[in-house]
Amino acid sequence: MRLKDIAKINETNFRNDNFDNILYLDTSSATKGVISNYLEFSSFNDLPSRAKRAVKDKTIVYSTVRPNLEHYAIFDKPQNNIVVSTGFATIDTNINITEPKYIYYFLTQQKITNQLHTIAMLNVSAYPSINPSDLENLDIKLPPLPTQTAIAKTLSLLDDKITLNNKINAELEEMAREIYEWYFVQNKKDDWEIKKLKDVIALQKNGDWGEEQSKGNYTKKVICIRGADINALVGNEYFNAPKRYILTKNTSKILQPNDFIIEISGGSPTQSTGRIAYLPMDLIKGFDTPLICSNFCKAISLKSEDYFYWFYFLWQKLYSVGAFFGYEGKTSGIKNFLFDTFVESYDVIIPPQKILQEFQAIVKPMFDKIVTNRQENFELATLRDWLLPMLMNGQVVIKGGDINECKTISLPIVEVEYQNFKEQIGLAARGDIDEQTIQNIYKAHREKVGERDGQSKNRKRRT
């Protein structure tokens, strides 16, 4: 059958019900199931012209522009005052014969993304895009409803743990921010030194975009962090920065532990440039390819490690109060942050080293936990994306909630590792998932780890 046989596309438009405020979701604010933020408007008349689609419980939103960017999500009991962009197709499934989350996971398979992106590239519009009919005509093999529910529940376990980690991280960062306010706002002293912001910066690194493929002298493979990846780096979205190739002479641009990445081009009428992300050692160690900025960002290093968390919260505070709007120029319609002008002119109160170190000692354990959770989320997302097609194509078969082992998953379970795995992803105390399902998720995880370790050994042999 086709998707149009079991779902309605763009069924309902948003109505003006005199809400006190309206939350608007643009396509760029939803990536791989994670909604990073809404734009808030005080009245219906203030909404952008593209704010038209209504959503309800279990509505799937799927961006029709550049499907390869994977801007999609599913709503769980959304507020009535949420409206989404017409850049999304809204998909509401027939709950009598479908489990909406099963359809969501079906649509988010890599092969479906590739199929839709191929269609988009053939479109004659100004940019790669699909039509709602392209979604409606997708062929879908629909198993019995209990099997759909079991598959959705299995994959949701991993997504639920990712969501929980993100909530923990947000709470930890908010706690650290309150401690920053106590030290450096509420208890600042008149005798603290005043300097220009540039006086705490040791080094700037401009970005590079390089080439998509290795060619000529463009042979150094890197992960290129764009402005669009900053939310992912701070843990609010799925990290999916592209791999590029730069000139070997530009390796000085490679990012180092404790560098900051700052967006210098982009923004919007309501959002300034200047968003920031940080790169602690443990985060960089999680990548097997060096990181650089794109030429829409720049990296900076500070003169002292003692400045690290103080600078991060200071910069975030400046961003939140709109301090950077007054330091923006425009070229070709794109806003550019006048970074040098800002740091050379902005006065900042520098706390004594002892106070900085005291603050650092308190908040560093919080950020260590945040980094650990982000790394865990990456592993869980990798496992989910690997397990998804196996569940969909029948390599792992679920009948009424029980996963039947398949031949491709046959690694022995080490009891201690298995118990640690259950606790890590929050399954040890849950009674709604049967033990056999958990064991097979674990086996799939161990096989994936084995593949990655094997690839790492092969790389070492080649070098």
pLDDT tens across 56-92, in order? 999 999 999 999 989 999 999 999 999 999 999 999 9
Coil, strand or helix at 49: coil
259 phi and psi, to 5 degrees?
Answer: -75, 155
Name the band, by pLDDT with cuts 50, 70 and 90, for residue 460. Answer: very low
Annotate 220-279 with DSSP letters as a single string: EEEEEE-GGGHHHHTTSS---PPEEEEEGGGGGGS--TTEEEEE-EE--SSS-S--EEEE
Name the band, by pLDDT with cuts 50, 70 and 90, for residue 427. Answer: very low
Evaluate if residue 419 carries a pLDDT over 80: no
Segment 126-149 mean pLDDT: 91
What CA–CA distance (Å, rounded) separates 445 from 451? 10
Q: Which domains does the chain have, with CATH numbers?
A: 3-142 (3.90.220.20), 161-166+368-462 (no CATH), 194-350 (3.90.220.20)
- What's the whole-number average pLDDT of the chain? 85
Segment 440-459 mean pLDDT: 55
Coil, strand or helix at 206: strand
Give the CA count within 13 Å in the CB-facing half-sphere of 398: 29
Q: What is the pLDDT of residues 23-47, one digit of tens each?
A: 999 998 898 888 888 999 999 999 9
Report the DSSP pairing between strands 88-93 and 60-63.
Answer: antiparallel
pLDDT at position 425 is 47
pLDDT at position 422 is 56
Segment 224-238 mean pLDDT: 75
What CA–CA distance (Å, rounded) separates 78 from 54? 10
Exposed/middle/buried for residue 401 (C-beta within 10 Å: 0-12, 13-18, 19+): middle
pLDDT at position 420 is 57
| Residue in this structure with the two tokens 């590239």, named with its chain if needed | 121
Q: What is the pLDDT of residues 215-225, one digit of tens each?
A: 999 999 999 98
